[in-house]
Each structure stands twice: as structure tokens, then as C-alpha cells.
């Protein structure tokens, strides 16, 4: 995988993870371009598209788009399920995750992604292993997370 | 509204940044918690899209802390913000080293993640030697092994030369046998990446991968516990193992090979079993494995039985209700089509694929269908496939038209048995999608006709008939002009296509054509002089007319002068020798194929060529297209100067010496012979008289943008005219736009009698604009003689919608003074409009669909000009939208519709203008799917009335 983006229906970037060194300027340009392309697509369209020299796999959960750019040989369907598994992990961790969780606990969203995917490849597909790692990390924290915020639009699973 | 909140956000953020900066700079040392808090805030601000240029040192401090939370935030900051800032990396190297050596798995994990996240060469230099040791050490925890494997993979991708192969590689291969499936998954990724470049070193992984795969696919769905995903056992690992096997040919060991075949058969069998769950995740995971297995089967290309089964399976998916599966089936079948074992099996699905082309609602799926039709095409079905593609072309999305044109042209050429079919096909292409027929395509048809004498008569007859149409595409005029010039004699016996009729037919198109086409037609005329001496005087009269001999365009003028002279002084023999029929073109790869390869990337086109080995050896090669202006006159290109007389000083940009004082050619008039007088402030149609004198170039080298907004706005509804004029310099524009592309000619006229030196015009785009508008210009000659004019071409591509205009900055020395001026270049969003006609019902339906308050922008303003309905109409049309009559219930109102084309998207726009004569006011309403577009169009159009 080359990179992963999370952005809202309104075109606000919520998370970006790059697995290949990319200049900031190019990142901005790619993000803007890709958001435009994906947001313009209609609901029933297929989840894959060719974009530049990459394949893009995306899926919308409630107000958030999860979007992965993969290379020519990579498997589209398994990438779609990688997105789903990530959403499941977020959901399990936050308990019915919503966009606000990802905005206000962005560092957690990154940590979970890091435990799950590294260097663009999946590190562990077991939900238990990933969450165990995150929980262990949380135990090391002196203060537990602040109480959860009200849920606005839960990401539908 | 949006602007305000954005402004407020920036204000709020700047305040916070100032606060954090003062905390960091303050005398009081911050405790770890506060430091963490502020670094975290910086990170949040960065992720909102703002630039952060401090806090790195504090993050480095946090990272070196022993407290986990501080360390974690420090690492996160570095991972997110630092790409390859080498100085900073040196600072954190030590902390990372300590963490790697700490034997604390959590700290080791953080360090490995950081190395992988930064992933730079410096990181590889520092750690590429260390990580393999961690990876294969017996006492390393599983989770650390996983991170180490992927970290190494990441470093190997960036700097393969820095990762030393060695003893550790064989131990890594054995991780495929590890008990922990997470470790196996990570190791498989690493091995696949390494094996791609060092297949020998990792050969032993094949048998291990096969046995691992076999254990997974035969396991019951609950065996693998948490690695079972929606009843599918370890789908990620299965996909990865199948990928790894694609680095190698089929296993040599018969036992391993047999076991692998069993695995693949099991996977194919499972596809036929009823699903264990209705959830889409179940079928996706299952099919992910299936598609990867099919990829492996195609890669091996050795088991006909498996290939045909794969093809049948994909055939089922072609009609699946899931769009994703249809897409993937079409894509995967494309590669199957190139295998000799399955090519025939793929062809049986032709009707389904054609149907997909007609009914799929998603353009990316239709695109796949076109690709597959192209891949499955052979001599037996070429006529059907070409016919279907032509059919589809009539309604195809703009984004894929050019590619379809190329594909049709290639197939028609490659599988033509009867070349009349080929000629018909290409002419159809031009008729249906003339705008998308690139030069390569029409060069190619000419090359083929020239090389095959059995089709020349037919081609002449067919183009002659096609040219009868009252409106034909310019590309047809080019092909027609060239072919009749070479082979018009073959049909001249028929009184319906006598020489004079042929000539008149071509000449009736002449004035509507662009300069290169007119140049080509002039060459046709001189060839006619040779072919048909009886119409020589008619042609000479045409060549002699002012519109030719005094043509504003140097190339046309030159051709007219030379051809006229040639026809007068040369004897028939010389004429016949000079204008002899074109010799056959040398055989070469089709330039169209080269173009398609370039467009699609090499891998996607070649397989058809190389694997099927059906090279049409009877077809002929191509000549490189040479542009009309090229001075290399001997190239046998259809548009090159035929006579070789043209190495004359007139070539290219140097203006011809002129006797009259007015050297500035009027580029704005439609009549090519008009020459604009050059008295300053003279009353030509374009520079408004009050304007010529109002602008004074500052003698100081000050760089102020001439705020000639009034002039700028004049160009919103028209494309040609004078953009700027003062006592020294006149800048004229002539531009054309089509879809999201445009071309602008800028003419710089020196009004003085003194040379301009170091003349440098530069087109400047702001950072924001750069990403939405691609502008390409060529530098111009730095010396502009007194009274002379130079031309600069700007090629324009609109990538996405944009607000501002580019700035044209011009610097030069005049006499002893340095001149520096800037004007806004009128490239505005509305230039990329395509008008759309629609009925009243459609209009109001769409109007209602765009009722979201953000989509509408309205402006009420006072009329600045007399309120004349006809002028208003002309302006709306000039603006680029269609003017829809009888749509608005109130006949005094104006409504328009159109589509803004950008590279990335198309935006439908509706507009309504309501005049109020009594109050001398207008109300303008714009509705588009994009707020920014509505806003910009409304601004631009409001200035017009």
C-alpha cells in the first residue's frame, strides 16, 4: 500500500498515512486531487478506480471515506477488507466509533493503524492481537483517556 | 460564510501557535506533561492542514523520555512530521538505538515503527544492519518480530543496497513455518519483497509457502481462531502466500507442484459452495483469495485445465450483482485473454462484455470492458468488436474517448483483411469523434493508403464522398486533402468527381480550417497543378489572391508564394518530378501503438502483441509526424513542406521585412488579410480608445500588477483582443479552448523604433493556482526589433476549478531603462465551459436538484451598461453556457446551462439572469454542484452587464 487517507464527506482530511517518502507539496496535491475524484463518485459505483499509476480502493462509512492507494499487482478485495478490519478495530476500541472520536483522539487512530499496518503491509490480522497491543500501551499511561464524547454519527458497520 | 469560519480558524490557530511558542521559549522549564500536551496540540494543528515549523526539539526530548506516554507522543510527532529532515534524524538516532536495545517490547515496537514511518536512507544507514538480528534472534517476542520484518521491508524498499543479505535470510524463510500466524503474515510480506529481487536466495520459500497454503485452505473455518475472518481462514495470509508464489515459475518438484494444484483446485471449488455468511465481508475475503489464485494460475500459464476453470469462474462474475466483482472479473479476464490456453474460452463471453459496455453505469467498469474487448480481439471477431467500439464511442465518456479511438485504429489496422474496411473504419472514427483523433491516427491512415495500391482508388472515392457533408471535421479535411492530392487522379475520370469539382470541394473547406490544415491544402493544390493541368489557372488564381500571398501567417504566405512561382516557371517535367507520388513509407512499429503504450503504461498493451505473435507483417511502418513548421523538409510526413524550397529565411518566427509602417499583424480578425494600423490609440475593434493612453509603464523597475480589471473582464466573454497597450508595447491575445484544454497565443508588439532587449515575459501562477491550472510556455527571443511582433504560445490545462487568474510579467530594457510590468492573464474558469442544451422541464428539474443553499450563489447589482436584450444574450453565449430559449416562464429573463470541464471532474452549471428595467438592476443566480464554482462564475458574469 502506498498511502491511506481518511476524509469526511465535506472534504476534510482526518488522517493520512504515507508508506513511501513523499514531498509535502506532492502530498497536498495528491490528497486534494484524490478527494475530488472520490467525492464525485456516486454511491453504487465500484470501490476501485485507476488513479495516476495507482489503484485506489475506497469505502464510505457514514460521513467518512477510507481510501487506500495500492500498486498494480495488489489485491483490491483484500484491501477493501483491510479497511473494514481497521474500522472494526476503531469501533471496538472506541465503542461505536464516530468521526469525532477520530478527530479528538487522532493519536489513538494513528496508534491503532500503526499496530495494524506497517510499512504499507498488514502486520497482524488478528483483532485480538492488535487490540491487546493497544491496551497494553494504554495501561502504561498514567492517566486513562478522558471520558468519551457524545456520539454524533456512529460509523455504521 | 465558509470564508469567515476559515478565517476564524486561522486566527484561532495563530493565537494558539504563538502561545505554544512562548511556552517553549519561556524561562520556566516545562514538565513532561505540559511538553506532551503542547506537542500534541501542534500535531493536531498540523493534521488540520497548517504548517508547523517548530516543536521538533521538544518532540525529540519527549521521545528520549522514559515515560511511555511522553515517548509515544514524541515518536508520533516525528513519524508524522518528519519525512527526511536528516539533521533531526541524527538527533533521534541515539534514542532509537537505546529503545531497540531496551528489551522492552513496547519500546522496541515504538522504535521500529518510527524507523519504518520515516523510512529514509539515513534510517537505513543507521539501522539496516541491526534489524535482521532482532528479526531472527531466538528470544525476540512475536510482536517485535512482526514489526522488525515489516520495518526491514520498508527500509529495503527505500534503499535495497543498504540491506545486507546473509545468514539471516534462510532463517527468515523458516519463519513461514512459525506457529504464530501474525509472524508468518509479516514474514511473507518481507520475503515476497526480497524474493522479487533475489529469487535464488529465497527459492526454498516456495515449498514452505505451498505447504502453509495447503494447511490453510484445507482447515475448517474455525481452526485458525482469530485469524479466521468472516468464516474465511486467514485470507490475508493466503493472498500473501499466493503473491509470493507469483515470484517463481511453477514448482519443479512434482510433489510440491501437485500439492499446489490441489490447493488451487480447492480454492476454485470453494467458490462454487454456498456462502457461509450473507455478509459482504465473507464473500469479499473469499473472492480476494480466489482472484489471487487466478492471478497465480495465469502467471504459471501452464495448466490448461485450471486456466479454463478460472475463465469460467470469471465468466460467472461478469454477471454478478456486485459491481466490484464485475470490475475485477473484467480486469482479470484481460490477462487471461493473452494466454493461448484460455484465449478461446475468454472469447465465448464476448456478448456479455459488449453488454457491459452498453449497460454498466460506472465509467471505470466500462473502461475495463473496453480493455477486455481489445484484449480478446482477433481476426475472427475484429469486425464485431470494432463495430461495437465505434457504437460505444458515440456516447462514451470524454475521459476515455481518445483511448478508444487509438484502440479502434490499432485493431482496424491489425486485423484488416480487406483494406476498404480499414479506410471506412478510420473515416467513421473521424466522423464520430474527430476531436479525439490524434495526429498519429490520421498520419497512419495516410501511410497505409500510400503503401497499398489496392486501396488507393477506394480511399480517394470514399474521402471525396465524405467531404460532401456540409460540416465535416477538420481531420477529415486533412485526410481528404492529402489523399486527393496523391490519388485524386484515380477518380477524376468520373464527371461527378472531375478535377475542378474536387478542387472546389476542398477549397470550400479552406477558410474554416486552421493554419496547419490550410498549409496542407495548399500543398494539395500544387499537386493538383501537376495532376490536372486543365485547372492550373484556377489554382493559380487562388494562390495569387491577397488572402494567400499576403497572408498573415508566414508559413501560408511562404507556401503560396513558392507554389505560385513553381507553377509558373517550372516545366511539366520538373513539376512532375518535384511532385512525384509519395514513395512508400518504411516499415516500423505503428506510431499509434506507441502512443497507446505511452498512455497506458507498457505492461498493459504489449501482452497482446508479444504473446499472440500475430504481427501483421504485411502492414507497413510509419513515419514520425513532422510538424508543419519543421524545417527538415525531406521527411516524408504528410504535412511537411513538399518542395524542399523552404529552408528560406522566412521560416519560423522572424517577421518578413515590410514596407509599410504597420507591422503588428491583426491577429484578432477572422479575415486573415486584415492588417491593423498601429497608430497609438487607433480605433481598432479591440482596444477601447480610452484605454490606449491610460496605462503608463513605470520607468522605475517596480513590479505592480496593472490593475486593468476592466480589460480583464472584457476577456471573460471573448477570446481575442488587445490585453494591454501603452506607448511602448502592445499585448494582444488570441485563444481557443476545448473541454479542459486551451491554447493562448500572446502577441507582443514593439510600438517603438528601438529594439527591446532582454525581453522576458513570464507567466506566474500562485501556489494555489498551480495545482489547478497547468500552464506551459516557451521562452521567446530576448530581442524584439523596433516595430516587430513576437508570439508566445501558452498551453493550458485546467486540472480543477480555480479562482484567481495567472499573472503575466514582462521585463525588458528599452533605451537605457528597465521596464517591468504585470497584467492579469484572462484565463478564467468559464473558458472551460461546454454549452448544454436542455428542455424547460429538464432545466427546472436540475435546478431543483441543486437546491442546497451552498450550491446557489446570487448577486443583485446595478446595470453598468444599457440593458439591451440582444447584447445580453451574446454575452451569455460568449460566457460559454448555452442560452436556453423558452425555458423561463418570464420571457424577459435569461437562463443558461453548461458544463465546466476540468481534468478531474465535470461540473454542471445552471444560471438565470433577471433584468429589472425600471430599477436598472439585475439579479443573477448561479447553481452548480460546487460552491466555489457557483461563487466564481457569479463574480465573473456579474461584471459583464
pLDDT along chain B (945 residues), means of 10: 71 89 80 83 82 83 84 84 68 87 87 88 88 88 92 91 86 91 94 92 94 90 80 94 95 94 95 91 95 94 90 93 93 88 90 91 90 92 92 85 89 87 89 84 87 89 91 90 92 91 92 91 92 90 87 89 88 84 72 73 44 37 36 36 35 36 35 35 37 38 53 83 85 87 89 87 87 86 86 90 89 85 89 87 84 83 85 87 84 89 88 87 89 88 87
Which of B364, B797, B932, B933 to substitute to test the interface with A, most A CBs within 10 Å? B364
Cell numbers linked to B63: 521521545
Chain B residues whose CB is inside 8 A of the A23 CB are 83
Min Cα–Cα distance to chain A from B151, Å: 6
Which of B99, B120, B288 to substitute to test the interface with A, most A CBs within 10 Å? B288
CB pairs under 8 A between A and B: 179
CA dihedral sign of residues B552, B555, B556, B559? positive
Q: Do B364 and A49 touch (CB under 8 A)?
A: yes
Which of A39, A42, A52, A123 to substitute to test the interface with B, most B CBs within 10 Å? A123
Contacts for B132 with CB less than 8 Å, ≥ 6 apart: B152, B163, B164, B166, B168, B172
Note the Cα B37 to chain centre separation in Å: 44
Q: Do A78 and B67 touch (CB under 8 A)?
A: no
* Residue list for the binding site of B: 23, 33, 37-41
Min Cα–Cα distance to chain A from B107, Å: 10
Q: Do A77 and B182 touch (CB under 8 A)?
A: no
Instruction: Say how many C-beta atoms besides its own lie within 10 A of residue B120's C-beta.
Output: 20
Q: How far is CA B631 from CA B600, B641, B780, in A?
A: 32, 8, 18
Instruction: Say how many C-beta atoms besides its own lie within 10 A of residue B764's C-beta.
Output: 14
Q: Do B327 and A82 touch (CB under 8 A)?
A: no
Q: CA B261, CA B249: separation in Å to the nearest integer? A: 13
The pLDDT of residue B887 is: 83
Q: Identify whether the C-beta of residue B852 lies closer than 8 Å to the C-beta of residue B924.
A: no
For A69, phi then psi, to 5°, come to -105, 125
Q: Identify whether the C-beta of residue A75 lies closer than 8 Å to the C-beta of residue B239.
A: yes
The pLDDT of residue B238 is: 96
The pLDDT of residue B649 is: 35
Chain B residues whose CB is inside 8 A of the A15 CB are 47
Q: Identify whether the C-beta of residue B443 lies closer than 8 Å to the C-beta of residue B516.
A: no
Q: Do B83 and A24 touch (CB under 8 A)?
A: yes
Min Cα–Cα distance to chain B from A135, Å: 11
With b for 16 or more beta-carbon neighbours within 10 A and e for fewer, the B503-531 pattern comes to beebeebbeebebbbbbbbbbbbbbbbbb
Q: CA B170, CA B173: separation in Å to the nearest integer? A: 5
Residue of A77, A123, A137 with shortest CB distance to B284: A77
Where do the H-state alpha helices sit in B859-920? 869-879
Q: What is the CA radius of gyration of chain A?
A: 15
Chain A residues whose CB is inside 8 A of the B323 CB are 44-47
Q: CA B444, CA B406: separation in Å to the nearest integer? A: 11
Chain A residues whose CB is inside 8 A of the B234 CB are 125
Q: CA B385, CA B404: separation in Å to the nearest integer? A: 12
User: What DSSP string runs through B342-382?
Assistant: THHHHHTTHHHHHHHHHH-S-HHHHHHHHHHHHHH--TTTH
Min Cα–Cα distance to chain B from A92, Å: 15
Task: Name the band, by pLDDT with cuts 50, 70 and 90, for residue A47.
Answer: very high
Q: Identify whether the C-beta of residue B636 lies closer than 8 Å to the C-beta of residue B585.
A: yes
Q: Do B800 and A29 touch (CB under 8 A)?
A: no
Where do the H-state alpha helices sit in B377-418? 382-393, 398-414
Q: Identify whether the C-beta of residue B124 lies closer than 8 Å to the C-beta of residue B159.
A: yes
Q: Do A136 and B106 touch (CB under 8 A)?
A: yes
Nearest residue on chain B to A130, judged by CA atoms? Answer: B143
What is the number of residues in chain B? 945
Note the Cα B230 to chain centre separation in Å: 40
Q: CA B769, CA B824: separation in Å to the nearest integer? A: 13
Average pLDDT of A121-125? 89
Q: Do A141 and B327 touch (CB under 8 A)?
A: no
The pLDDT of residue A133 is: 81
Q: Identify whether the C-beta of residue B542 lies closer than 8 Å to the C-beta of residue B534.
A: no
Helix crossing, B591-600 with B398-414: angle to 10°?
Answer: 140
Q: Do A125 and B76 touch (CB under 8 A)?
A: no
With b for 16 or more beta-carbon neighbours within 10 A and e for fewer, the B152-161 pattern comes to bbbbbbbbee
Chain A residues whose CB is inside 8 A of the B143 CB are 124, 129, 133
Min Cα–Cα distance to chain A from B90, Å: 18
Residue of A24, A81, A118 with shortest CB distance to B116: A118
Q: Identify whether the C-beta of residue B722 lies closer than 8 Å to the C-beta of residue B710.
A: no
Q: CA B69, CA B75: separation in Å to the nearest integer? A: 10
Nearest residue on chain A to B771, judged by CA atoms? Answer: A29
Residue of B151, B229, B288 with shortest CB distance to A119: B151
Instruction: Say how many C-beta atoms besides its own lie within 10 A of residue B342's C-beta.
Output: 25
Instruction: Say how many C-beta atoms besides its own lie within 10 A of residue B316's C-beta.
Output: 12
Chain B residues whose CB is inside 8 A of the A128 CB are 226
Q: Do A107 and B239 touch (CB under 8 A)?
A: no
The answer on pLDDT for A60 being more than 80 is: yes
Q: Identify whether the C-beta of residue B773 lies closer than 8 Å to the C-beta of residue B798.
A: yes
Q: Do A141 and B69 touch (CB under 8 A)?
A: yes
Min Cα–Cα distance to chain A from B454, Å: 43
Which of A104, A121, A137 to substitute to test the interface with B, most B CBs within 10 Å? A121
Cell numbers linked to B781: 527571443
What is the number of residues in chain A? 157
- Give me the sheet containing B729-738, strands edge to edge: B721-725, B729-738, B741-750, B789-798, B773-777
Residue of B73, B227, B799 with shortest CB distance to A126: B227
The pLDDT of residue B608 is: 40
Q: Identify whether the C-beta of residue B684 lies closer than 8 Å to the C-beta of residue B749.
A: no
Contacts 24+ apart (CB under 8 A), B918-926: B920/B862, B920/B863, B920/B867, B921/B860, B921/B861, B921/B862, B921/B863, B922/B860, B922/B861, B922/B862, B922/B863, B923/B858, B923/B859, B923/B860, B924/B858, B924/B859, B924/B860, B924/B861, B925/B856, B925/B857, B925/B858, B926/B856, B926/B857, B926/B858
Chain B residues whose CB is inside 8 A of the A78 CB are 235-236, 239, 284-285, 288-289, 292
pLDDT: is A67 or B121 the higher one?
A67
Q: Do B83 and A142 touch (CB under 8 A)?
A: no
pTM above 0.90, yes or no: no
User: Which of B548, B549, B529 is CA-nearest to residue B537?
Assistant: B529
User: Which of B230, B406, B134 is CA-nearest to residue B414?
Assistant: B406
Min Cα–Cα distance to chain B from A139, Å: 10
Min Cα–Cα distance to chain B from A122, Å: 7
* Residue B873 burial (C-beta neighbours within 10 Å; 0-12, 13-18, 19+): middle
Q: Do A50 and B287 touch (CB under 8 A)?
A: no
User: What DSSP string runs through B62-100?
Assistant: HHT-SSHHHHHHHHHHHHHH-SS-HHHHHHHHHHHHHHH
Tell me the β-bridge partners of B773.
B798
Q: CA B840, CA B891: separation in Å to the nearest integer? A: 13
Residue at grid coordinates 479542459: B740
Chain B residues whose CB is inside 8 A of the A46 CB are 323-324, 326-327, 362, 364-365
Q: Do A136 and B119 touch (CB under 8 A)?
A: no
Q: CA B424, CA B430: separation in Å to the nearest integer? A: 10
Contacts for B812 with CB less than 8 Å, ≥ 6 apart: B756, B757, B758, B759, B760, B784, B818, B819
Q: Do A78 and B235 touch (CB under 8 A)?
A: yes
Q: Do A137 and B68 touch (CB under 8 A)?
A: yes
Helix (H) or strand (E) holding A65: strand A64-70
Q: What stretches of B574-658 adopt beta strand conformation (E)? A: none
Which of A34, A118, A143, A157 to substitute to test the interface with B, most B CBs within 10 Å? A118
Q: Do B367 and A20 touch (CB under 8 A)?
A: no
Q: Do B324 and A77 touch (CB under 8 A)?
A: yes
Which of A18, A46, A138, A139 to substitute to test the interface with B, most B CBs within 10 Å? A46
Nearest residue on chain B to A103, judged by CA atoms? Answer: B44
Chain B residues whose CB is inside 8 A of the A73 CB are 243, 246
Q: CA B574, CA B566: separation in Å to the nearest integer? A: 9
The pLDDT of residue B145 is: 93
Nearest residue on chain A to B364, judged by CA atoms? Answer: A49
Amino acid at each position: 500500500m502506498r498511502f491511506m487517507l481518511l476524509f469526511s464527506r465535506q472534504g476534510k482530511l482526518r488522517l493520512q498515512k504515507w508508506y513511501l517518502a513523499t514531498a509535502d507539496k506532492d502530498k497536498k496535491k495528491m490528497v486534494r486531487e484524490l478527494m475530488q475524484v472520490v467525492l464525485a463518485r456516486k454511491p453504487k459505483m465500484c470501490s476501485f478506480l485507476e488513479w495516476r499509476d495507482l489503484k485506489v480502493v475506497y469505502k464510505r462509512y457514514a460521513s467518512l471515506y477510507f481510501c487506500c492507494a495500492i500498486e498494480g499487482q495488489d489485491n483490491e478485495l483484500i484491501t477493501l477488507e483491510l479497511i473494514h478490519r481497521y474500522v472494526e478495530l476503531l469501533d471496538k476500541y472506541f465503542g461505536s466509533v464516530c468521526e469525532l472520536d477520530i478527530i479528538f483522539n487522532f493519536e489513538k487512530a494513528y496508534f491503532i493503524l500503526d499496530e495494524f499496518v506497517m510499512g504499507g503491509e498488514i502486520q497482524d490480522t488478528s483483532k485480538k492481537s492488535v487490540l491487546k497491543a493497544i491496551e497494553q500501551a494504554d495501561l502504561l499511561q498514567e492517566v486513562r483517556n478522558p471520558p468519551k464524547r457524545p456520539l454524533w454519527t456512529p460509523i455504521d458497520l | 460564510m465558509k470564508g469567515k469560519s476559515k478565517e476564524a480558524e486561522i486566527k484561532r490557530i495563530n493565537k494558539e501557535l504563538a502561545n505554544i511558542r512562548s511556552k517553549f521559549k519561556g524561562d520556566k522549564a516545562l514538565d513532561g506533561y505540559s511538553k506532551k500536551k503542547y506537542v500534541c496540540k501542534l500535531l493536531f494543528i498540523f493534521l488540520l492542514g497548517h504548517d508547523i515549523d517548530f516543536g521538533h526539539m521538544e518532540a525529540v526530548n519527549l521521545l528520549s523520555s522514559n515515560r511511555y506516554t511522553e515517548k509515544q507522543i514524541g515518536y508520533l510527532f516525528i513519524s508524522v512530521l518528519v519525512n527526511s529532515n536528516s539533521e533531526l534524524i541524527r538527533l533521534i538516532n541515539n534514542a532509537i538505538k537505546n529503545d531497540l536495545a531496551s528489551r522492552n517490547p513496547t519500546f522496541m515496537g515504538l522504535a521500529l515503527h518510527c524507523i519504518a514511518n520515516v523510512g529514509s536512507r539515513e534510517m537505513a544507514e543507521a539501522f539496516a544492519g541491526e534489524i535482521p538480528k532482532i528479526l531472527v534472534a531466538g528470544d525476540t517476542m512475536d510482536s517485535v518480530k512482526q514489526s522488525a520484518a515489516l520495518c526491514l521491508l520498508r527500509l529495503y524498499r527505500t534503499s535495497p543496497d543498504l540491506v545486507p543479505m546473509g545468514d539471516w535470510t534462510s532463517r527468515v524463510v523458516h519463519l513461514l513455518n512459525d506457529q504464530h500466524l501474525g509472524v508468518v503474515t509479516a514474514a511473507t510480506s518481507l520475503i515476497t519483497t526480497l524474493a522479487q529481487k533475489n529469487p535464488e536466495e529465497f527459492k526454498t520459500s516456495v515449498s514452505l509457502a505451498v505447504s502453509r497454503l495447503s494447511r490453510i485452505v484445507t482447515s475448517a473455518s474455525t481452526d485458525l481462531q482469530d485469524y479466521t475472518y468472516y468464516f474465511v481462514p486467514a485470507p490475508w495470509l493466503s493472498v500473501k502466500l499466493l503473491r509470493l508464489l507469483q515470484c517463481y515459475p511453477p514448482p519443479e518438484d512434482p510433489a510440491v507442484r501437485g500439492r499446489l494444484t490441489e490447493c488451487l483446485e480447492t480454492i476454485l471449488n470453494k467458490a462454487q459452495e454456498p456462502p457461509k455468511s450473507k455478509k459482504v465481508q465473507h464473500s469479499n475475503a473469499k473472492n480476494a483469495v480466489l482472484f489471487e489464485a487466478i492471478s497465480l494460475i495465469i502467471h504459471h500459464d501452464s495448466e490448461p485445465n485450471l486456466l479454463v476453470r478460472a475463465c469460467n469462474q470469471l465468466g460467472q462474475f461478469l454477471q454478478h450483482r456486485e459491481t466490484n466483482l464485475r470490475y475485477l472479473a473484467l480486469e482479470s479476464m484481460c490477462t487471461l485473454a493473452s494466454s493461448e490456453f484460455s484465449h478461446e474460452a475468454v472469447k465465448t463471453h464476448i456478448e456479455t462484455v459488449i453488454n457491459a459496455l452498453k449497460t454498466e453505469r460506472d465509467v471505470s467498469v466500462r473502461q475495463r470492458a473496453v480493455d477486455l474487448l481489445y484484449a480478446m480481439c482477433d481476426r475472427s471477431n475484429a469486425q464485431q468488436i470494432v463495430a461495437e467500439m465505434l457504437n460505444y464511442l458515440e456516447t462514451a465518456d470524454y475521459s476515455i474517448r481518445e483511448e478508444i479511438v487509438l484502440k479502434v485504429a490499432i485493431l482496424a489496422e491489425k486485423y484488416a483483411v480487406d483494406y476498404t474496411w480499414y479506410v471506412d473504419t478510420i473515416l467513421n472514427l473521424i466522423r464520430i469523434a474527430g476531436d479525439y483523433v490524434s495526429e498519429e491516427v490520421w498520419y497512419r491512415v495516410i501511410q497505409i493508403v500510400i503503401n497499398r495500391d489496392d486501396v488507393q482508388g477506394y480511399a480517394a472515392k470514399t474521402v471525396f464522398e465524405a467531404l460532401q457533408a456540409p460540416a465535416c471535421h477538420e481531420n477529415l479535411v486533412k485526410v481528404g486533402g492529402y489523399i486527393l492530392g496523391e490519388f485524386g487522379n484515380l477518380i477524376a475520370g468520373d464527371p461527378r468527381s472531375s478535377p475542378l469539382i474536387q478542387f472546389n470541394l476542398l477549397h470550400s473547406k479552406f477558410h474554416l480550417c486552421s493554419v496547419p490544415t490550410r498549409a496542407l491544402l495548399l500543398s494539395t493544390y500544387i499537386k493538383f497543378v501537376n495532376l490536372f493541368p486543365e485547372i492550373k489557372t484556377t489554382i493559380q488564381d487562388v494562390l495569387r489572391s491577397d488572402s494567400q500571398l499576403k497572408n498573415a501567417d508566414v508559413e501560408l504566405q511562404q507556401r503560396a508564394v513558392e507554389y505560385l512561382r513553381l507553377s509558373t516557371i517550372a516545366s511539366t517535367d520538373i513539376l512532375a518530378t518535384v511532385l512525384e507520388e509519395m514513395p512508400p513509407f518504411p516499415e516500423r512499429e505503428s506510431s499509434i501503438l506507441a502512443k497507446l503504450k505511452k498512455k497506458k503504461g507498457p505492461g498493459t498493451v504489449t501482452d497482446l502483441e508479444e504473446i499472440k505473435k500475430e504481427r501483421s507483417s504485411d502492414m507497413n511502418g510509419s513515419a514520425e509526424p513532422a510538424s508543419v513548421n519543421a524545417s527538415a523538409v525531406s521527411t516524408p510526413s504528410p504535412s511537411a513542406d513538399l518542395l524542399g524550397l523552404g529552408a528560406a529565411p522566412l521560416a519560423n518566427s522572424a517577421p518578413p521585412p515590410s514596407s509599410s509602417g504597420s507591422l503588428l499583424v491583426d491577429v484578432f480578425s477572422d479575415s486573415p488579410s486584415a492588417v491593423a494600423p498601429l497608430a497609438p490609440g487607433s480605433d481598432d475593434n479591440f482596444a477601447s480608445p480610452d484605454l490606449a493612453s491610460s496605462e503608463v509603464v513605470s520607468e522605475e523597475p517596480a513590479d505592480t500588477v496593472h490593475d486593468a480589471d476592466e480589460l480583464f473582464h472584457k476577456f471573460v466573454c471573448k477570446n481575442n483582443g488587445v490585453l494591454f497597450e501603452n506607448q511602448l508595447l502592445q499585448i494582444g491575445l488570441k485563444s481557443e479552448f476545448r473541454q479542459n484544454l486551451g491554447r493562448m497565443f500572446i502577441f507582443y508588439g514593439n510600438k517603438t523604433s528601438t529594439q527591446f532587449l532582454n525581453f522576458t515575459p513570464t507567466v506566474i501562477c500562485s501556489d494555489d493556482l498551480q495545482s489547478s491550472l497547468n500552464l506551459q510556455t516557451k521562452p521567446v527571443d530576448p530581442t524584439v526589433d523596433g516595430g516587430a511582433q513576437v508570439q508566445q504560445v501558452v498551453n493550458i490545462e485546467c486540472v480543477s476549478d480555480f479562482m484567481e487568474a495567472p499573472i503575466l510579467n514582462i521585463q525588458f530594457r528599452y533605451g537605457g531603462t528597465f521596464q517591468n510590468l504585470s497584467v492579469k492573464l484572462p484565463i478564467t474558469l468559464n473558458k472551460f465551459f461546454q454549452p448544454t442544451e436542455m428542455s424547460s422541464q429538464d432545466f427546472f428539474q436540475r435546478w431543483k436538484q441543486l437546491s442546497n443553499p451552498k450550491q446557489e450563489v446570487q448577486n443583485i447589482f446595478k446595470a453598468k451598461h444599457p440593458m439591451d436584450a440582444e447584447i445580453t444574450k451574446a454575452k451569455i453565449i460568449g460566457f460559454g453556457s448555452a442560452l436556453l430559449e423558452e425555458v423561463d416562464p418570464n420571457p424577459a429573463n435569461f437562463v443558461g446551462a453548461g458544463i465546466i470541464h476540468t481534468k478531474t471532474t465535470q461540473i454542471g452549471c445552471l444560471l438565470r439572469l433577471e433584468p429589472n428595467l425600471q430599477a436598472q438592476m439585475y439579479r443573477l443566480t448561479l447553481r452548480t454542484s460546487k460552491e466555489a464554482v457557483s461563487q466564481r462564475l457569479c463574480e465573473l458574469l456579474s461584471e459583464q452587464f
